[in-house]
Every structure is written in C-alpha cells, then in structure tokens.
Amino acid sequence: MKTELQVLDCLKDLIATDLANFLDTSSETEQQTFGADNIKIDFPDVDKMKKSTMFFIQPDYESIEDLSMNSDIATLHTTLFIFCKAAPSEILIRRVFNYYTAFYTLLRSNQTLNGFIDFSKVTDMDYYPAVAASSTTTAIEVKLQLQWAKQF
C-alpha cells in the first residue's frame, strides 16, 4: 500500500530532479542551482531558509472514497509553498513566478509522478508580494490534489 509520506517523497524527488528542465534560464533572475536541498516536506519557516529559493510541501488533509472491496481512492490535499528571498522586489517577483510556472508545467506534463500515483493537479495559486513583514521575501502558495488507489 502506498502511504501518504511515500507520495509526498515522490513529489519531492520529482521536483528535485526535473524542475530545472522547465525553468526559464534565459532570465537574469536565476543565480543558483536547484535540487533536493531546496525542498522540504515541512511547514514553511522563512527565518530558517538556508537557500534563497525554497519549496515547502505541507500535507493538509485527505479525502477517502470506496473504490472496491480491497481498495479506496485517496485524495491528499496538499499545499506547496514557493519562497524567494534576498533580492530586489522586481527580481523576486520574476523569480517566484518563474519557479511557479516551471512547477505547474512539470506537474501538467507528469500528472502521475512517473506512474507512482493515478493523478495530480493544481487547484489554486495565491501570490504574496511580502512575507512576514519583509519586503525582501515573496511567496506563492499552490494548492494540489494528489490521488491514488490505496490497496489493502
């Protein structure tokens, strides 16, 4: 049976390995490499960010429906936070939207997370021009649904 943490780890691994393929590298706003160190399955803590761009994956709740006698359909509602900091506001806006667009395109092109789950989708996006009363940190909050059959 696939667990919720296995699904979140799969999402994290996919972002770490494939997101760079979707980033607009022609932009002067990108200054760093992006990998597993930029992603945490955790509640976001801007004060402890070690990188200028971070993704935080936060599970919110799960909906479960009967599928068969031996399985259920699980829909894990998850929030992905994209934080960018330590640059002028104009660069932060471009950077955070570049990462959001790359993530959205990645997920649309690989809705099954390489066949690990049945379906995923972005349901909402909110932009925050400043975070924690800091004009040098900006963020995007992305609501996701991750769906798979739970076999038991």
Domains contained in the chain, CATH given: 4-151 (3.30.70.1700)
Residue 34 and residue 31: Cα distance in Å, rounded?
10
Return the number of other C-beta atoms located less than 10 Å from residue 103's C-beta: 23
Please report, as a single letter, which amino acid is at residue 101: T
For residues 89-110, give the mean pLDDT.
Answer: 96
User: How many angstroms separate the CA atoms of 61 and 92, rounded?
Assistant: 30
pLDDT computed for residue 136 by the predictor: 85
The pLDDT assigned to 50 comes to 86
Tens digit of each residue's pLDDT (9 = 90 or more) over 26-43: 765 555 688 999 999 999
Phi, psi of 59 (to 5 degrees): -70, 140
Mean model confidence pLDDT for the chain: 92
User: Which of 91, 96, 95 shows the shortest CA–CA distance to 125?
Assistant: 96
What does the pLDDT average to over 44-48? 86
102 — pLDDT class (breaks 50, 70, 90): very high
Q: Is the full-model pTM beyond 0.75?
A: yes
Whole-Å CA distances, 115 to 14, 95, 109, 119: 11, 30, 12, 9
